[in-house]
């Protein structure tokens, strides 16, 4: 039986999974922004963030923002896949990015690693901030945030360590 109090994957793996899923999407931002598979991979990328939100230290309200971001961006991906009007789906995505920024900044500020704090605050502020000026600036101005979040995931994988109270695999079987 799985024990919900245990972590079965290391924080390093949990940080690398979204990095690996989002890297091809970020490359496509620069080479072929309208690539058909981008939204499909984007849905899986956002679903992988669920594991990271649950693992990173953050206030409950910040974790709620992280989960809401995932929900809105998965919704956006499905809207785009099903050819819902672009402007509608884009507005939903930008709303989700405000919540993403809240979670990224809040979880980064409590990190013990200064590179995670610095890159996380810049990434979260950029992602959320663009949402308020997205009608004035081209989508290309959002692309650096995509690169920054990849760097943030990598820094999490490098500098964050598992909490010893929650080992990556159970030391003994869970009580029945």
Domain locations in the chain as residue ranges = 11-159
Helices (H), 1-59: 11-31, 38-55
Write down the pTM of the prediction. Answer: 0.90
> Does position 134 have pLDDT exceeding 70, yes or no?
yes
Q: What is the mean pLDDT of residues 57-83?
A: 98
pLDDT on residue 175: 53
Query: How big is the chain, counted in residues?
Result: 176
CB proximity list for 166: less than 8 A, separation 6 or greater: 5, 6, 7
Tell me how many degrees the CA angle 116-53-36 measures, rounded to the nearest 5. Answer: 95
| Sign of the dihedral defined by the CA atoms of residues 115, 117, 122, 126, in that order | positive
Q: What is the mean pLDDT of residues 146-168?
A: 83
Integer Cα distance of 11 and 23 in angstroms: 19
Q: Could you tell me the pLDDT band of residue 2, with boundaries at 50, 70 and 90?
A: confident
What is the DSSP annotation of 80-107?
HHTT--HHHHHHHHHHHHHHHHHHHHHH
Helices (H), 56-169: 60-81, 86-109, 114-133, 143-159
Distance of CA 16 to the CA centre of its chain: 11
pLDDT on residue 173: 52
């Amino acid at each position: 039986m799985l024990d919900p109090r245990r972590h079965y994957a290391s924080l390093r793996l949990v940080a690398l999974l979204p990095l690996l899923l989002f890297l091809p999407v970020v490359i496509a931002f620069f080479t072929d922004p309208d690539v058909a598979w981008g939204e499909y991979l984007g849905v899986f990328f956002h679903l992988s963030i669920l594991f990271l939100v649950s693992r990173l230290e953050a206030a409950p309200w910040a974790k709620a923002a992280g989960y809401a971001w995932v929900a809105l961006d998965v919704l956006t991906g499905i809207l785009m896949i099903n050819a819902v009007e672009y402007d509608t789906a884009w507005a939903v995505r930008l709303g989700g990015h405000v919540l993403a920024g809240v979670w990224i900044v809040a979880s980064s500020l409590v990190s013990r690693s200064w590179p995670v704090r610095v890159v996380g605050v810049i990434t979260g502020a950029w992602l959320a901030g663009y949402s308020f000026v997205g009608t004035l600036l081209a989508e290309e101005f959002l692309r650096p945030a995509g690169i920054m979040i990849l760097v943030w995931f990598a820094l999490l994988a490098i500098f964050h360590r598992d909490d010893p109270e929650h080992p990556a695999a159970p030391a003994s079987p869970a009580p029945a």
